[in-house]
Amino acid sequence: MEEKKNETAELDDKWIYHSMIYKLVEELNYTPNDVYELVVVDALNWLSFFKERDDYKRKLADQQKGITRY
């Protein structure tokens, strides 16, 4: 039996590279060319930081609304 995939997950998988570039452009206020010139380790560190920060903000917002999903 074939399992259906979430369409959002397929979009993310297909466009993950572009999503990462877009995130760095938006968050660091860089141009795409500036992002392409970043050292890979630096880019990954920034992406990790933004992910953890966004998760933390989401948890705080959920706590304020009384939502527990973690």
Each residue's pLDDT tens digit, 38-50? 999 999 999 999 9
Block mean pLDDT (10 aa), the chain, length 70: 56 84 97 97 98 95 81
| CA distances from residue 34 to 8, 40, 50, 57, 64 in whole angstroms, order as listed | 28, 12, 18, 27, 37
Domain range summary for the chain, segments of one domain joined by +: 7-65
pTM of the model: 0.74
Contact call for residues 43 and 24 (beta carbons, < 8 A): yes
DSSP 8-state symbol, 4: P
